[in-house]
Each structure stands twice: as structure tokens, then as C-alpha cells.
Amino acid sequence: MTSPRVNLLDFDADQMAAYVAGLNEKPFRAKQLMQWIHQRGVADINDMSDLAKSFRATLLDKAEILSLPVIKDEHALDGTRKWLLDVGAGNAVESVFIPEDDRGTLCISSQAGCAVNCRFCSTGHQGFSRNLTAGEIIGQLWFAEHLLRNDPEAIRRVEKFPTPGWEHTGRVISNVVMMGMGEPLLNYDNVVSALRLMLDDRAYGLSRRRVTVSTSGVVPMIDRLAQDCPVALAVSLHAPNDTLRDQLVPLNQKYPLRELLDACERYLPFAPRDFLTFEYCMLDGVNDSDIQAKELVRLLKNMKCKINLIPFNPFPESGLKRSSAQRINAFAGILLDAGMVATVRKTRGDDIAAACGQLAGDVVDRTRVRERAVHKAEIELAEVDPEEEIDEDLHAEPNEHPIEWLKKLK
């Protein structure tokens, strides 16, 4: 029986070097492979013309370059593009390309579904299926970058609004945000492998400040990220006190605000440009009052940060409403008057449901979160009992399953 081929997208630079050494090839072959795959977007090993024929033959036998199959490719009127990607077993995830005047941002997913189950998030409502592999995560960038390089519309935008220092690379994607489906810090090892490739000059060569990890607040992993790969950090806050945050972001019950903010303080010296972003989803009548804005000021007044107010993007089962534009402005006004840096996120790709929190992909829910949470108009928790819910086959995952991981921390 032939053994399955390895996916070369799964390897960061060190892992590629180790793989090539295992095939008794010289170290520079690893660098060549990285360049063919990540810089030139070549998927066919036969096309890697400067590799020796014998090496190519070995690779053809043992390896492949495989990104996720595209199920759907949607274009929004504002240039936003969304891909629905097949991750097998009835699961799909989404990536979104957001062209802006001075940058091209790709929003990528880290998990099929999400176990954190935030009250206002469509991904959370779908429940959790599995972690994406490093190859499936970096494959989203690999695929989008090389596809868009041949897209006249994307190229036109880059040429019209060149990002300083970017115009000579021929690249279209200048920024990556881990704000798609899933909680990146609950798929830590695979996410860090993918982040390393994003930053590696032999691959995508993005600077740390152009790569953002967004987290709902997995405190121990924030500390590890500071050591392993300190990219820009965005923390999903959404509430100025524990009582409300416990309900909106259930992970807060494990890592309350004080612990989370302490971890943020510890991350700051490692963060690019020494500041963090806090995301705050504006929910009508839930977290958007003047009193809550003042509470938020008190909470964050000593932190070097920017607060990004995200107008809630509704989805049918949420039972929640977006705050009005006037309310968002009044809330932002209180933050600005107190000397904080605050912005309101522009909603993009509305017509193709590509905005924050609308990414739902298609997930076979192994946690039954959806079944439990759906139709609840009141803000209350849909508890996931890890003992009861976990499927046997998930134990075989290369990385720790997030629910297992949460269980250990109990």
C-alpha cells in the first residue's frame, strides 16, 4: 500500500528544511521549494524547473501542494470577494478579500466552526467541528494571493493605490487578519506555523504589523504568542464588565476581564508599534449605553490601545439588533472625549454576507451548540459539556481539540 502524500503547504520553513533533509537533499532545496510554492504559487511539482529531475520524481511520489477546494466564489459590489472552501466531511469555511485604498486585506479562518459560542456570532451559533491544519490555514492565503495576482480588478486597485514598499513585489494581499471563522488561539500550533509562513521572507514576507490575530481572550495563549510569534493582537472585548461579558463571550467565565487585561499588558511590549486593538461589537440596548461607554473608558484608560467599534451584523437566529448610527456615534464620542483612540469599522461586502460575524460556512456541529442556543431570545449561555459532547474521532486530531483543552483548564 502506498502511504499518503504529505501536503507541502503544511510545512513552515524549519519543517520544510527537516523534510528535505529527511530526503537526503541539500538544505538550499528547501528554500527553493518554499519560493516555488509560496512566492510563485506553483502547485505542480513538474513545473519546478530548477529542481533536479530525480528530486522532482521523489516529490511527485511522496508530496503534493493542496489547498482547499472552492465551493463558491462571490463578488460584492464594493470589490470584496468571498470564497467558500470545502474542508471535507460536510464542513466548509470562508475567506474574504477586502480591497481598500491603501491595502488589500485577507480575512482567513482557523477552525471549522467555533466552540466559544459568543452570543452575537454566527460562526459560534454553528458550533464546532474541527481545527484547520496549518496547510489549510496558509492555503487560504496561498490560494487567494495567486488567484488575485491574475485578477485585473485586484491588480488595478493595487496599481492605483500602491502601499509604500509594496508595489515592487507584485503582490496583491498586503495584510492578513485572523478574523474569519474560529478562535485562532484554540488552534495554537497550526495557527503559529501558518503565521510564521506569512512573516517568512522565503514565503510571503509580511511585516508583523500587517498580520493580526483576533482572539476572544485565551489568556495563556496570548502569553505564548508573545514569545512565539508576536504579531498584531486584536482582543474581542464587547463588554465593559464581567457580568455582561460572561454572557456575551462565555470564555470570560474562565478568563475574566482582569486576567485578560493583565495578559494584554504583558503582550504590549511585544506588540508591533506597542499597542493593541480592542474590538467591541455594538449591540442595541445590550452594551451601547453612555454608562457602558464610561465604564469602558475606566477599564482601558491606562492601556495603549485603539477601540474598534463594530456595528453588529445581524443573522436570523441571534435575536439581537445593531445599535443605531447615532448611538454608535454617541458611544464613540464618549471614548474620544476621554482621550481614547476609537474607530468605527466600515461594514464591507454586505451584499454577500462577508462582514464580521456573518461568516458561517457550513459546519457539521459536533458540540450541538446550535441546537441548544438557537431560538433563545434572551441573552443566556448555551453550555457545552465537554465530557458529553466530544466525539471519539476528534481525539485523533494532531492538535489538541479546543473543547478538550478548555476542559483541562476547568
Q: Which of 20, 118, 194, 260 binds ligand SF4 (CB under 6 A)?
A: 118
> Looking at 12-20, 95-103, 117-125, 161-169, which segment touches ligand SF4 (CB under 6 A)?
117-125
For the annotated catalytic residues, the residue numbers are: 94, 356
**Which residues inside 345-374 make contact with ligand SAH, applying CB under 6 A?**
356-357
| DSSP letter, residue 186 | G
Q: Which of 94, 136, 183, 288 binds ligand SAH (CB under 6 A)?
A: 183
Exactly one of 39, 91, 190, 216 binds ligand SAH (CB under 6 A); that residue is 216
Contact (CB, 8 A) for 230 and 208: yes
Phi and psi at 379, nearest 5°, equal -80, 110
Residues 351-367 as b or e (16 or more Cβ within 10 Å = b)? ebbbbbbbbbbbbbbbb
Site for ligand SAH in 122-141 (CB under 6 A): 122
Which of 107, 108, 112, 121 is close enough to bind ligand SF4 by CB under 6 A?
121
Q: Which does 313 bind (CB under 5 to 8 A by kind): ligand SAH, ligand SF4, none?
A: ligand SAH
11 near ligand SAH, judged by CB under 6 A: no
Pick the binder of ligand SF4 from 124, 139, 349, 402 (CB under 6 A).
Answer: 124
Grid coordinates given for 22: 529527511
Q: Binding to ligand SF4 by residue 84, rule CB under 6 A?
A: no
What does DSSP say about strands 305-311 and 341-344: parallel, antiparallel, or unpaired?
parallel
Question: Could you say whether residue 313 binds ligand SF4 (CB under 6 A)?
Answer: no
- Any contact of residue 179 with ligand SAH (CB under 6 A)? yes
Query: Of 53-61, 76-84, 224-232, 307-315, which part binds ligand SAH (CB under 6 A)?
Result: 307-315
Separation of CA 253 from chain center? 23
Work out what residue 139 binds among ligand SF4, ligand SAH, none; the CB cut-off runs from 5 to 8 Å by kind.
Answer: none
Pairing of strands 305-311, 91-100: unpaired
> Using the rule CB under 6 A, is 123 a contact of ligand SF4?
yes
177 phi, psi to nearest 5 deg = -120, 130
The one of ligand SF4, ligand SAH, none whose footprint includes residue 80, by CB under 5 to 8 A per kind, is none
Residue (133 or 308) nearer to ligand SAH, CB: 308
Q: Interface with ligand SF4 by CB under 6 A: which range of 44-52, 95-103, 114-122, 270-278?
A: 114-122
Report what 312 binds from ligand SAH, ligand SF4, none; CB cut-off 5-8 Å by kind. Answer: ligand SAH
- Residue 116 is a binding residue for ligand SF4 (CB under 6 A): yes
Q: Which residue has 520544510 as its cell numbers?
A: 16
DSSP for residue 283: B
281 φ/ψ angles, rounded to the nearest 5 degrees? -80, 120
Length of the chain: 410
Phi, psi of 169 (to 5 degrees): -85, -15
Contact 10, 134 (CB under 8 A): yes
91 binds ligand SF4 (CB under 6 A): no
Q: Does 310 bind ligand SF4 (CB under 6 A)?
A: no
H helix and E strand count, the chain:
15, 14
- Say which entry of ligand SAH, ligand SF4, none residue 279 contacts (CB below 5 to 8 A, set by partner kind): ligand SAH
- Cross-strand partners of 92: 86, 362
The stretches of 47-95 forming alpha helices (DSSP H) are: 53-62
216 binds ligand SF4 (CB under 6 A): yes
At residue 321, what are phi and psi to the nearest 5 degrees?
Answer: -125, 155
Taking CB under 6 A as the criterion, the residue among 120, 188, 204, 255 binding ligand SAH is: 120
Contact criterion met (CB below 8 Å) for 394 and 409: no
Pick from 193, 182, 24: nearest CA to 107: 182
How far apart (Å, rounded) are the C-alpha atoms in residues 291 and 79?
38
- Which residue lies nearer to ligand SAH by CB, 193 or 214? 214
For residues 110 and 187, the answer to whether their CB atoms sit within 8 Å is yes
Q: Provide the binding-site residues for ligand SF4, judged by CB under 6 A.
A: 114, 116-118, 121, 123-124, 182-183, 216, 236
Q: Provide the binding-site residues for ligand SAH, judged by CB under 6 A.
A: 120-122, 179, 183, 214-216, 236, 279, 281, 310, 312-313, 356-357
